[in-house]
Amino acid sequence: MPKERINHQITADKVRLIGSDGKQVGVVSLREALRRAEEAELDLVEISPNIDPPVCRILDFSKYYFQKEKKAKEAKKKQHEVEVKEIKFGPNTEEHDYNFKKNNAIKFLKQHNKVKFTVRFRGRQMAHKELGYRVLDKLKEDLAHIADVDQEPVADRNLLSIVVSPKKDIDRILGKENKAEAATVTADEVVQPEATTPAQDE
């Protein structure tokens, strides 16, 4: 991380000074700013060098720089590293197993990871690769609202695979779906009044 210029490294004749209390002092000569920093037993730090005159602040530079590095490290940790999660199918995957694996894929996509779907053929299944294409086509269709296909089906010996990525606005899409589901559940929970039979005239 580049360090700001401090004290006698600053080259401007005049600076816009911010005091150690965070209040604007105004435009002063560099010599005056350095004198004030020295009186406060602190550093004069050039925090905005690209404006005229540059903005300088009186502060404890070692403490300031430590806090700045700490924030940069925290921001780096928050940056999500995209992973490719693989989910394997057989050409004759049953509905229950298919849904379970599809839900896992949704979970991975929600975490902003890519997902690679692989269909593995064994023995005589090699003669029916169309079944594998059918599985992948169904996945593409079922996940089309939250995922984009990065790579169309690729055949490699006894494997068939595709890679999908989460849509950029996947969080918003899933949020709307969850709200819609919650509204449906609430509506279903409303107890309907029992129908009454009108009294018959005698």
Taking a C-beta distance cutoff of 8 angstroms, is the pair 58, 4 a contact? no
- Bridge-partner residues for 48, per DSSP? 55
Average pLDDT of the residues in 145-160: 86
CA distance 139 to 148: 11
What is the reported pLDDT for 199? 53
Plot region of 112 (φ>0 → left; ψ -120 to 50 → alpha; else → beta): left
User: Is the pLDDT assigned to residue 192 strictly greater than 70?
Assistant: no
What is the reported pLDDT for 202? 45
Whether the model clears a pTM of 0.85, i.e. scores above it, the answer is no
Q: What is the pLDDT of residues 154-180, one digit of tens each?
A: 888 888 999 999 988 877 877 777 776
User: Is the pLDDT assigned to residue 30 strictly greater than 90?
Assistant: yes
Question: What does residue 46 show for φ and ψ, rounded to 5 degrees?
Answer: -85, 100
Burial class (CB in 10 A: 0-12, 13-18, 19+), 28: middle
What is the reported pLDDT for 141? 92
Q: Is the peptide bond between 53 and the residue preceding it cis, with omega within 30 degrees of 0?
A: yes
Q: What is the pLDDT of residues 131-140, one digit of tens each?
A: 889 999 999 9
pLDDT band at 79 (very low <50, low <70, confident <90, very high): low
User: Is the pLDDT assigned to residue 115 strictly greater than 80?
Assistant: yes
Q: Which amino acid, 69?
A: E
Average pLDDT of the residues in 55-77: 87
Q: How far is CA 32 from the centre of its chain?
A: 47
* Domains of the chain, CATH where assigned: 11-60 (3.10.20.80), 84-185 (3.30.110.10)
Q: What is the pLDDT of residues 101-111, one digit of tens each?
A: 999 999 999 88
Taking a C-beta distance cutoff of 8 angstroms, is the pair 55, 16 a contact? yes
- Whose CA is closest to 122, among 76, 163, 91, 101? 91
Q: What is the average pLDDT score of the chain? A: 84
